[in-house]
Amino acid sequence: MAAARGDAVSNINALRSAAARYVFSLSARRDRMGRLASPTRVAILNVDQTRKVTTLRRREIEEGEEDRRLVRSRALNGYFEYRAYNRNRNSNYAAVGGQKLDSSVSKPVFRPYDICFHGRRNRALIEATLPGENNESKIEKHEEWTKGSLLRPGMVLLKNFISHDEQVDIVKVCRDLGLGLGGFYQPGYANGAKLQLKMMCLGIDWNPRTYKYGNKRIFDGSTPPSIPNHFIKLVRRAIQEAQSLTKKEYRASKVEDVLPSMTPDICIVNFYTKNGKLGLHQDRDESRESLRKGLPVVSFSIGDSADFLYGDERNVHKAEGVILESGDVLIFGGESRRVFHGVRSVLPNSAPKELLRDSGLSPGRLNLTFRQY
């Protein structure tokens, strides 16, 4: 009898060791694959040594499940149990293009998105020669911009306002800033949905999860780069031109009442790929004072054209549309400051070929929106 009892105890001990080895091997395997960010806890609870284990239920821990998963093996009066904590417990909200988790630290390794071609594709694009044009004609046709138009009170479109050289410069500056700290990433909303664009903030960071501004980007703690001074000068020049057109159209003695001036301290830079879009929304996260005064939003379009929507309601069927082409500047302030607006689609292969050649911009639309907090 004593010998039989000793054999039973030995069998139970062997079972416990085997079960523990299975759990730790599972954990190690998942860790080598780089998918486990939290430690595995193992506990043996109240295992009765008088009966053999009859079942062992195993479960894989799947990404995105609840914080704790239990895998239990029933014994006579207790359970074998281990808990695997959700590996995303400490992860950040934004799935950045190319970003990977480092199993040795809790913060992700941030790899910003590159808005330009690189390698052989870029060299081939830059070295390409467009038939029937030279460098002089290429630049000259962009120096003369088409006069703007008033879409509605406080909303002005300046066609082809940004010259070829200025567009190339903007692309190169945004690329350099976008590859550094605080660079381009794919933002996401609080519900987990991702915006169909890449984003970088200059001056002050905007968090699409909280719809608030801050001095640092939440998910990596980076400080937004400053707005380049020549960007600010171009914004001021565009506002002055829009005010001039507004004054002629409305014969207003105080044009500031229709379209106020502003000095930007915020620039949200978005890059839309060929499938990029943005639903109808209002820009209303700035300060109450800024919104009360109707300080305008100034938008630069570079690269592929966009089918832009705007209206008084969040209804695409009632919204009006306009095509924003490379070099266009759109300004909306005053009574149009809270207009609903969005991008229905990006028109593929519509960017000026010489711009792609001289800047190396990838297919898509680069959009800079300036505002004053």
Report the distance separating Cα 356 and Cα 349, nearest Å.
10
Q: DSSP characters for 163-190?
A: -HHHHHHHHHHHHHHHTSTT--B--B-T
C-alpha closest to that of 201 among 371, 24, 19: 371
Structure tokens that stand for 33 in this block:
């694959």
- Helix, strand or coil for residue 249? helix
Report CA Rg, the chain.
29
Report the distance separating Cα 242 and Cα 255, nearest Å.
10
Distances (CA, A) of 204 to 60, 114, 266: 43, 21, 5
Report the distance separating Cα 139 and Cα 226, nearest Å.
29
Structure tokens that stand for 229 in this block:
């001074």
Amino acid of residue 216: K
Sign of the alpha-carbon dihedral angle for 15, 18, 23, 26? negative
Q: 283: annotated binding-site residue?
A: yes
Q: DSSP characters for 329-353?
A: EEEE-GGGTT-EEEEEEEETT-S-H
Report the distance separating Cα 94 and Cα 185, nearest Å.
8
C-alpha angle with apex 69: 63 to 75, nearest 5 degrees?
145
Report the distance separating Cα 306 and Cα 367, nearest Å.
10
Strand partners, 269: 200, 368
Long-range contacts for 100-104 (Cβ within 8 Å, ≥24 apart)? 100/34, 101/34, 101/37, 103/31, 103/34, 103/36, 103/37
Amino acid of residue 295: L
Amino acid of residue 233: K
Residue in the block written with tokens 């390794």: 109
Q: 142: annotated binding-site residue?
A: no
- Helix, strand or coil for residue 214? strand
**Helix, strand, coil % in the chain, rounded to nearest 5:** 30, 25, 45
Binding positions for Fe cation are: 281, 283, 341
Binding positions are: 281, 283, 341
